Amino acid sequence: MAQPEIPKLMKAVQIVGYKQPLQLNEIPVPTIGDNDILVKIGAAGFCHTDYQVWEGVYESPTPIVGSHEPVGTIVAVGPKAQAKWKIGQRVGPIFFQHACHNCWGCDSTNDIRHCVNKEMRGLMQDGGFAEYMVGDADNTVLLPDSITFEQAAPLMCAGHTVWTGIERVEIPTTEPIGIIGIGGLGSLGVQFAKALGHPVVAIDKRPQGRALATEFGLKADLVVSPDDEGVLDKIRSWAGKGGLAATIVCCDDVSVAEWSLKLLRPFGKTVPLGLPPDGFKCNAFDLVFNNLVVIGSVVGTKAGLEMVLETVAKHNIRSHVTTFSIENAVNFCDMYAEGHVKGRLVMKIG
């Protein structure tokens, strides 16, 4: 396929200052390196981390283009990437890119997540809220034809993150899991856990969150609010053996993460996926006397994301998405702050 004409300038939604209104600006189309691809964005998702970038939590440089949930079509390929990628392919660049292959993290783990010098799209380098974005040829995945851009975008972080969290608990697929916080991550977590064979309880204070737990084909077996009378006894009775084998906490509410320990059976495991700036808190007696395990988990590997896409295509797993044009994406932080978002906000182009 011939290389399409690429403009010199593009529209991009930028964070120009912490807690300042997002701006739609015209900036240069980025240039690619020898082992890069240029992706024409089809869709890009808004994540809680994007909101934290806007707040200044990560001290990100500004101006910066947000979103680490980009998907689109390859329109240019660097010379070293031509053996891997072709113009016209539908792809998603992952969050972490351009490992240095020289630091202690690369040497000891061979995992880009632990590279000291890695790039983080939308966090420290420009991301996907633009018409074009650079992708690292070694850290990009091919999208199945059956997954639309607007459905693929949330998988790049929300889906990838919660899938990795479920993998990290390493429990038999017959054992019950609790998914806490049924938003962009949690609704996918319910479906992934069901696809793997787990009995699932979905827990959320918000009625829109609880509704998401049964919106799609793979539904939670039990849906509760933490405010329900006798909810702890109800969950423990449903799970058997004194409680759940594992919980995946898909929010950054510190009190919720602490409360989740009470749902676990002895030797139970919890994965807190939220990133509260002030850290986590746990009840020492719950943790110690029940021999509980708290597991850290960050996004995932390229191989893990490929498994996510395969599972989504096989089981028709879906996100509840609300799409907006690039012009309206400047309102994402305000929409998110209102707290009534159901599922995922996604910018769609074309």
Q: What is the pLDDT of residues 287-322, one digit of tens each?
A: 999 999 999 999 999 999 999 999 999 999 999 999
**Residue 2 domain flag:** no
Answer yes or no: is 3 within a domain.
Answer: no
Least Cα distance to 92 among 273, 304, 327 occurs for 304
Q: Note whether 168 and 143 are same-domain residues.
A: no
Total structural domains within the chain: 2
Does 4 fall in a domain? no
pLDDT, tens digit, for every residue of 147-178? 999 999 999 999 999 999 999 999 999 999 99
User: pLDDT by residue (tens digit) across 249-278?
Assistant: 999 888 999 999 999 999 999 999 998 888
Residue 90 lies in a domain: yes
Alpha carbon distance 26, 11 (integer Å): 5
| CA pair distance 261, 257, nearest whole angstrom | 7
The answer to whether residue 2 scores a pLDDT higher than 90 is no
Does 341 have pLDDT greater than 80?
no
Whether 55 is covered by a domain: the verdict is: yes
**Does a structural domain hold residue 1?**
no
Cβ atoms of 244 and 221 within 8 Å: the answer is no
Query: ω into residue 63 within 30 of 0, thus cis?
Result: yes
Mean pLDDT of 323-331: 97
- Residue-wise pLDDT for 192-214, tens only, equals 999 999 999 999 999 999 999 99
Kind and range of the H or E element at 314?
Answer: helix 302-315
Please tell me the distance from the alpha carbon of residue 327 to that of residue 348, in angstroms, as a whole number. 10
The answer on 100 and 137 residing in a single domain is yes
pTM of the model: 0.96
Q: Are residues 306 and 266 in the same domain?
A: no
Residues 142, 172 within the same domain: no
> Are 17 and 71 in the same domain?
yes
A 10 A CB-CB count for 85 gives: 20
Residue 271 and residue 284 in one domain: yes
| DSSP single-letter state for residue 273 | -
Tell me: do 240 and 255 sit in the same domain: yes
Q: Could you tell me the CATH number of the domain that includes residue 281?
A: 3.40.50.720
* pLDDT score, position 189: 98
* Domain span holding position 89: 9-157+300-348
Q: Do 122 and 175 sit in the same domain of this protein?
A: no
Q: 20 and 134 share a domain?
A: yes
Pair 153, 163 in one domain: no
The tens digit of pLDDT for each residue in 22-59 reads 999 999 999 999 999 999 999 999 999 999 999 999 99
Residues 196 and 334 placed together within one structural domain of the fold: no
Residues 165 and 153 in one domain: no
Length of the chain: 350
